[in-house]
Structure 1
């Protein structure tokens, strides 16, 4: 097969971008606004004189809901994966960039921007997006990550660090944005909170958390368990958007599959806070099939299945109480 030269690839990507730009706006104005470039720079790209950078193509793919794979016409057995965040950044910058990815994703899925949206999330422990919901849990997560990266001495206590104001503001923003996602299904491992509780107790026994901090973290985990219980019982969140819960004996990994405006997107969390993402349709469809298989062998606890819900919620509460109650007293 004959290889494409740089000019052919540039024209190919440009055609795909133009095909997806809304008809009611001029391409130059749209590119100038989205990419924060001058009109002249936009026209140079439209004339094919300058190539779009990788960052620009990614940004446009997010805003125009197209697959990068399709734009570059990759072979069917190849897929593009994006790793968000830069591990070389300090913890504040890194978490800010990762939260921005989540925030952009949930804003794209807002009912005002899409005709329909559904997402399915699998978790073998509490995902970072849940820790974002609570101030002290997020601070503990920040502390844990910064310590792992050796940004302060290992003897530093949780009370000695603080969350930068702009990062806390961004956290609050995504909490609001996440509420508006229309339809989310969660498939959790039966021991959802265990690893988070174990991590907290590890640092407490090292003397890096005091009893007051331990109590605050315990209270927020209790609030999270209650939140899951209430959403599972009603089948909706506080503003009426659908929330379904399933419990599996074991979940291999933390992932998220979403579809909106006929665009597929998959997230995979491995050993980092930042997800690996792809819009490759084949990968996403296979991911969806895996989730459906997992769901088939899981127990639904939403709405009518009160006994299974009661058993799952009490398992979380018992573990939390058994590990923290005595220490907090």
Structure 2
């Protein structure tokens, strides 16, 4: 009896995760690499899925095992610790980027895809296409990590494949059907302060500082254009809000027809993620609630928009 319930719970969880157009049996054959008849025996309940098979399905489709067995712990959620290893930082960081890019590719045509983020730093969805800014983000983390040898910004070389993957990541975000950005009004101040600190201890040259400054101005131009247009390059909706209160952290969510993903930024470049539905619902409600403290500057609020970006240019100009 219990085995049948577990089998049914697993099948129902997979059905919820797969797009309606996908054939359940074919999808499971591709995931488990077993024959059609063996799959149908499992779907009919004649043969139960093994624990190993359930684990493979969980990993491939991002379904939590508690969801499969029909258990819900309201006070608990399973998180994926996307922590960049200090042993091989570039390889580990690239692996995380690659996983996120694959996810964006999989939802590229999904008309129900949405992203919401409340940021106290410049969102990486916008900054990763800029070589020096993305390099500085990594440099700051690597310098702080005592297990990584990183002495000078100029000496740090970013692998070309990582540069290309970062730009691919940034480009794919424009295909998300709806994006809500809620920005802390200090996002540029925080970054400028960080750059100034590393310049003051002579780890960033004047030449590199000027290049970072130039990219920041280009980023401000892009952000202002995006907010005035209210559309991504792919023609999808983008709403930008400036918060009148400061944020203690950066929170984000990605929702699609088959995925509900929550992200919390930790340790500078890392994030923890979960596909727990309760966590997603709570995080989305929290981010959306911040709009009551914020001013919409995309396609409206022209005076506030002009004022905000003028202030950001003044902040960057002191570099």
**1:145-169 deviations in Å (ceiling 9; x for gaps):** 2222235545x22221211122222
Question: Is the aligned partner of 1:251 residue 2:247?
Answer: yes
1:264 to 260, 265, 276: 260
* Cα deviation 1:55-97 (Å, max 9, x = unaligned): 6513213xxxx56552232324132222224535421022112
Q: After the TM superposition, which residues 123-272 of structure 1 pair with which residues of structure 2 at under 5 Å, given as runs?
A: 123-150=119-146, 153=149, 156-249=151-244, 250-261=246-257, 263-272=259-268
Tell me, yes or no, if the aligned pair for 1:91 and 1:145 is still in contact at 8 Å: no
* 1:21-60 CA distance string (max 9 Å, x none): 5676473x53454x4x6437x9599553452364651321
Shift in CA distance, 50/281, structure 1 to aligned 2, threshold 3 Å:
closer
Within-5 A mapping of 1:96-135:
96-110=94-108, 112=109, 114-135=110-131
1:9 deviates by 8.4
Question: In structure 1, which of residues 26, 30, 33 is the aligned counterpart of residue 27 of structure 2?
Answer: 30
Q: For 2:56 and 2:285, locate their aligned partners in 1 and report how far apart those are by CA, in whole Å.
A: 30
Distance in 1 (CA, whole Å) between partners of 2:272 and 2:228 is 32
Per the normalisation by structure 2, the TM-score is 0.84
Residue 274 of structure 1 corresponds to 270
Matches within 5 A, 1:293-304: 293-304=289-300
Q: TM-score, normalised by structure 1?
A: 0.82
Q: Distance in 1 between matches of 2:92 and 2:313?
A: 32
Alpha-carbon distance in structure 2 between the residues aligned to 1:273 and 1:13: 36
SS across alignment from 1:251: coil
Residue 316 of structure 1 pairs with residue 312 of structure 2: yes
Deviation of 1:301 after TM superposition, in Å, equals 0.9
Which consecutive unaligned segments of at least 5 residues does structure 1 have? Answer: 325-329
Say which SS state the counterpart of residue 316 (structure 1) adopts: helix
Check 1:53–1:132 CA distance in 2 against 1; reply closer, same or farther (3 A cut).
farther
- In structure 2, what is the equivalent of residue 290 of structure 1? 286
* Conservation of the 8 A alpha-carbon contact between 2:119 and 2:184: yes
Distance 1:9 1:99, change over 3 A: farther
Deviations 1:99-156 (A, max 9, x none): 123213322331x2x23222211001123333312111112222222222235545x2
Aligned length: 309
**Secondary structure of 1:261's aligned partner:** coil
What's the Cα RMSD here?
3.0
